[in-house]
Amino acid sequence: MNPEYQPLVEAARAALPLAQARYSGFRVAAALLCDDGTIVTGINVECSSYGGTICAERSALVRALSQGKSGFRAIAIVTETEGPTMPCGICRQLLHDYAPGATVIAAGSNATAIATLRELLPHAFTL
């Protein structure tokens, strides 16, 4: 893994205990690397009306956008699973809309996978 991404994975791991997974128990945290070097974290927040649940990736992106950030290089997603968990379809599309060139680093407890967003969403919807 590129050494530049290690602090990103560590920031996501540090945020993981804050995840609000009261229904599924599946905690997820994300850390977004902005073009200016800032790291913005997010967590999943579950809702009893499941459609209202917010994924960690979207949480981090919306938080960054709310802080005036506009360029993004990479996002790390951390879970407690052994293997990596890549973003869901909604997160892939939203990331494509705001960070189409981003690298995605998915880290489980025993394995990490790295892909570009274009690899994960090769035929993304665009306007």
Residue 57 a catalytic site member: yes
Of the residues 4, 10, 57, 80, only one is catalytic, namely: 57
For the chain, the DSSP string reads: --GGGHHHHHHHHHHGGG-B-TTT---EEEEEEETTS-EEEEE-B--SSGGG-B-HHHHHHHHHHHTT---EEEEEEEESSSS-----HHHHHHHHHH-TT-EEEEE-SS-EEEEEHHHHSTT----
Catalytic annotation, residues: 57
